[in-house]
Amino acid sequence: MEEGNYFANNLPFSDKAMIMNLDKFKKRVDLKKLASVIIIDGGLGLGKTTTAVQIASYIEGEPIDFTMQLALGGTELSEKLLLCQEAKKKVLIYDEASDFNRRGALTKFNAELNRVFDICRAFKIIIIIVLPSVKVLDNDLFHKGIVRGLFHVADKGINFNLVWAYSTYRLLYLVNDLKNTKNNPVPGKVYLKHKHNFDFRCQNLTSKRAIELEGFSTSSKLRVLKEVVYKQAGLRTTKEIGESLGISARLVQMRIKDLGVKPILKKGRKIYYDSDIIEKIRPLIVRNPR
């Protein structure tokens, strides 16, 4: 578990019901080998990620490795899931930072989740999804039977967060009302309308650990922001070009070599080309296949 201030039970959670449920989630994965997903949602700045880290560290039995067990948007979910599987980790946090007001981003987010959950059943890894509101999730994710409950961060105190816990059964009714904006125009009131199973307080991380988390989150979000800026500027990686054309990144690299096109930008291992190259490569797929 994380080091820090604990309650009288020597744990970062104030209610024993929380511990009992987390232990059930672990047994479900370890013994029954069933995929399990925990949802954490709540308002901006209330401590969703802190709560996720405390929960994940309890499940792992030690402080989680941010570089391996905290995925922040984009394609990091599938990448870090593989890393966790290879390292035999028990839990992975997916903290989604996309702009959910854009339909394209929302669709891509759910498509990524559906794809990952279809292949991760044998991984024995609990996935914790952190997002502004559980209502953005597709109903298919609930129909798969892998979402085990919701922890809604309702309020933030000086030393702890107040969290409401909803079972899968109550969560489905909650999500239905959250999506029915015509009858429920104030989302915050919907959580009050549906009685939670129990509530608990979750302690903050230590100052040192909180600084580490902030530094990791900031650097990761800056990387994601830069990628968005590059896309807006019309720059694409070979992988993205391949996805647009329906071919592999390797074949894209071969066609780029044939054309003698130079990259526009290099950032670490990523190489960016002007998106105009897509239309230059398209005719070569038919005329010069390999």
Higher-pLDDT residue of 226, 161: 161
Distance CA 113, CA 202 (A): 27
CATH number of the domain residue 77 falls in: 3.40.50
Q: Is the pLDDT assigned to residue 234 strictly greater than 50?
A: yes
CATH number of the domain residue 248 falls in: 1.10.1660.10
Q: What is the DSSP string of 233-285?
A: TTEE-HHHHHHHHTS-HHHHHHHHHHHTPPPSEEETTEEEEETTHHHHHHHHH
- For residue 183, being part of any structural domain is answered with yes
> Is 149 found in the same domain as 83?
yes
> Is 21 found in the same domain as 102?
yes
Secondary structure (3-state) at 89: coil
> Is 180 found in the same domain as 39?
yes
> Is 170 found in the same domain as 149?
yes
Q: Is the pLDDT assigned to residue 141 strictly greater than 80?
A: no
Mean pLDDT across the chain, nearest whole number?
84
pLDDT per position as a tens digit, 142-180: 887 888 899 999 999 888 999 999 999 999 999 988 888
- For residue 226, being part of any structural domain is answered with no
Q: Is the pLDDT assigned to residue 98 strictly greater than 50?
A: no
The whole domain housing 283 covers 233-287
> Is 165 found in the same domain as 36?
yes
Q: Is the pLDDT assigned to residue 75 strictly greater than 80?
A: no
> Is 186 found in the same domain as 71?
yes
CA atoms within 13 A on the CB side of 53: 27
> Is 176 found in the same domain as 274?
no
Which of 82-86, 104-108, 138-142, 226-230 reaches the highest mean pLDDT? 82-86
Low-confidence winner among 50-64, 97-111, 178-192 (lowest mean pLDDT) = 97-111
Instruction: Supply the pTM of this predicted model.
Output: 0.76
E strands, the chain, are 37-42, 70-71, 91-95, 126-131, 147-156, 160-167, 198-203, 235-236, 265-267, 270-274
Q: Looking at this protein, which amino acid is placed at residue 211?
A: I
- For residue 271, being part of any structural domain is answered with yes
* 73: DSSP letter: S
- For residue 1, being part of any structural domain is answered with no
> Is 270 found in the same domain as 160?
no
Provide the pLDDT for residue 101.
43
> Is 68 found in the same domain as 34?
yes
Helix (H) or strand (E) holding 221: helix 207-232
- For residue 86, being part of any structural domain is answered with yes
Structurally, how many domains does the chain consist of?
Answer: 2
> Is 162 found in the same domain as 29?
yes
Domain boundary among 200, 221, 242: 221
Residue keyed to tokens 């670490």: 268
Q: Is the pLDDT assigned to residue 224 strictly greater than 70?
A: no
> Is 139 found in the same domain as 110?
yes
Higher-pLDDT residue of 12, 119: 12
Give the angle subtended at the CA of 43 by the CAs of 42 and 48, to the nearest 5°. Answer: 50
Q: Is the pLDDT assigned to residue 61 strictly greater than 80?
A: yes
> Is 241 found in the same domain as 177?
no
pLDDT per position as a tens digit, 255-267: 998 889 888 888 7
Confidence of residue 102 (pLDDT cuts 50, 70, 90): very low
- For residue 4, being part of any structural domain is answered with no
Domain boundary among 172, 197, 221: 221
Confidence of residue 269 (pLDDT cuts 50, 70, 90): confident
Provide the pLDDT for residue 74.
60
